[in-house]
């Protein structure tokens, strides 16, 4: 794990997507019960040579791909920060790119599922079993995966926040080091020079006070009128 990144925070961010993943795994049991209630004792037809297999593992495989994308991203960011190859902006764009990849996969699978449904419908009644036990579960599970992909984006968001905190700490250290590297030298003035500076400051303060005097302001207004500047 990248130093400074909390694995616990990433796991917490992944909890909603894990809950949907668990629901999708148990979906088959619910679907089979619902399907048996609908068709009753009628047997679904299927052409010889075609086999229907259970898709319970399908969301798990895709979720593993999502986790693999995150692990690969962490490896890339770790290398970039360690070797100081990328700026903060470039790293944020890299995170967005991998997050977009997960979102693209989640969006594409339901579209593929819709194509599978159309394909099995086109096969006719003799392949009802393929339609009910493969195409429809595939599409529904693909919709579950779409929801998982959307929820999994929060993991990438949490990772991006932690990366920005790392850069903030780095920038903070750099700023704190600047005053330490600056040398402030005080020039020793002789007493006469200090007296001259004090006299100049005192005269300036008196001049400012005199300018605030109402008499001075009235005289200034008269002068402006005489010169035609008022």
196 shares a domain with 129 = no
The model's pTM: 0.67
200 shares a domain with 176 = no
pLDDT for 227 equals: 61
177 shares a domain with 82 = yes
Instruction: Please report which confidence band the pLDDT of residue 182 belongs to, taking 50, 70 and 90 as the band edges.
Output: very low
Instruction: Please report which confidence band the pLDDT of residue 179 belongs to, taking 50, 70 and 90 as the band edges.
Output: very low
11 shares a domain with 114 = yes
116 shares a domain with 140 = yes
219 shares a domain with 131 = no
Q: CA-CA distance, 62 to 142, in Å (whole number)?
A: 10
Of the two residues 17 and 204, the one the predictor is more confident about is 17
75 shares a domain with 175 = yes
223 shares a domain with 145 = no
222 shares a domain with 164 = no
Task: Judge contact between 113 and 138, C-beta under 8 A.
Answer: yes
Give the pLDDT confidence of 141-170 residue by residue, as tens digits.
999 999 999 999 999 999 988 888 887 777
195 shares a domain with 177 = no
What average pLDDT does this structure show over 57-70?
93
DSSP state of 229: -
84 shares a domain with 30 = yes
What average pLDDT does this structure show over 73-99?
85
Domain of 219, in residue numbers? 191-227
pLDDT for 80 equals: 83
Least confident of 50-64, 68-82, 181-195, 211-225: 181-195
Q: What is the DSSP string of 153-204?
A: HHHHHHHHHHHHHHHHHHHHHHHHHHHHH---------HHHHHHHHHHHHHH
**Structural domain tally of the chain?**
2
């Amino acid at each position: 794990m990248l130093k400074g990144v909390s694995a616990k925070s990433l796991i917490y961010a992944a909890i909603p997507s894990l809950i949907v993943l668990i629901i999708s795994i148990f979906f088959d049991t619910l679907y089979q019960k619902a399907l048996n209630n609908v068709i009753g004792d009628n047997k679904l037809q299927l052409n010889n040579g075609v086999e229907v297999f259970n898709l319970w593992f399908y969301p798990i495989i895709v979720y593993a791909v999502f986790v693999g994308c995150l692990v690969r991203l962490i490896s890339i960011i770790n290398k970039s920060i360690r070797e100081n190859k990328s700026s903060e902006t470039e790293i944020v764009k890299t995170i967005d790119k991998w997050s977009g990849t997960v979102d693209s996969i989640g969006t594409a699978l339901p579209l593929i599922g819709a194509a599978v449904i159309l394909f099995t419908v086109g096969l006719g009644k003799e392949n009802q079993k393929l339609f009910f036990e493969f195409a429809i579960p595939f599409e529904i599970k693909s919709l579950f995966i779409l929801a998982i992909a959307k929820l999994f984006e929060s993991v990438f968001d949490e990772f991006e926040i932690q990366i920005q905190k790392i850069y903030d700490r780095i920038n903070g250290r750099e700023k704190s080091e600047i005053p330490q590297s600056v040398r402030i030298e005080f020039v020793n003035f002789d007493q006469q020079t200090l007296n001259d500076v004090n006299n100049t400051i005192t005269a300036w303060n008196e001049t400012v006070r005199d300018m605030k005097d109402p008499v001075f302001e009235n005289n200034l207004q008269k002068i402006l009128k005489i010169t035609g500047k008022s």
